[in-house]
Amino acid sequence: MTTSGRIQVLRAADRPATPWLNGGGVTREVAGSPAGAGPTAFDWRVSLADVASAGPFSEFPGIDRVITLVDGDGMALTVDGTAHRIDAPFRPFAFPGDAATDCRLLGGPVVDFNVMTRRGRTTAGLVLATEAAPVDVPAGATVLVLCLTGSATLAGTALARFDAALLDGGSPDGPDRHESPGPYELRPDGVTAVVTFGPAA
């Protein structure tokens, strides 16, 4: 992890892999809040998962999930008895984390990008950027920028594939309140995810 001004850089090479309980793959947590909250006590969490075989997803009570296919032929998900085909890359699919969810691979292993938020406490907005654009950081929000393919630069900071950067807008009312330092200029060479986390209304 490195820091450049207000940009906290999270390098893919520093990210440990955690095996799933069912042995069907591994997860690499990119970032979460509060820091050190672990897999059950977070307000929000972002991860990349290598799915190697079919099996059930872990249930996350009170959590909303968005899953995006990054690599591979895709998955057939059954969410509370309803079938969904996740076979097109970079098309986010939202579903409740507390739903009974089963996964069947359509081909070989896949890599997916996960965004999870605690329902009623945190919301997330997800944009998949392929062209240069400004990234604004509203007061009271946190923005995560994650390079999914190729490379990217964020305000001159280079991001390789699966590198990420955190931008913190501070508290809108507390002593750390500040005007947004942005916008930050994002220049993706490929696909880069921009996730904005804020308090639920």
Asked if residue 103 has pLDDT above 50, the reply is yes
Give the tens place of pLDDT for each residue, 106-129.
999 999 999 999 999 999 999 999
Q: Residue 97 has which token pair?
A: 């984390």
Domain ranges of the chain: 2-10+121-199, 15-118
Q: Which CATH class is domain 15-118?
A: mainly beta
Give the tens place of pLDDT for each residue, 14-71.
999 988 766 778 899 999 999 888 777 899 999 999 998 888 988 899 999 999 999 9
Hey, do 2-10+121-199 and 15-118 end up sharing a CATH topology, with the first three levels equal? yes
Predicted confidence band of residue 174 (pLDDT cuts 50, 70, 90):
very low
DSSP codes, 70-123: EESS-EEEEETTEEEEE-STT--EEEETTS-EEEEESSS-EEEEEEEEETTTEE
Peptide bond into 19 cis (omega under 30): no
Q: Residue 176 has which token pair?
A: 């750390």
User: Which of 71-75, 82-86, 156-160, 168-172 is predicted with the least confidence, judged by mean pLDDT?
Assistant: 168-172
- Secondary structure of residue 146 in the 3-state scheme: strand
CATH architecture designation of domain 2-10+121-199: Sandwich (2.60)
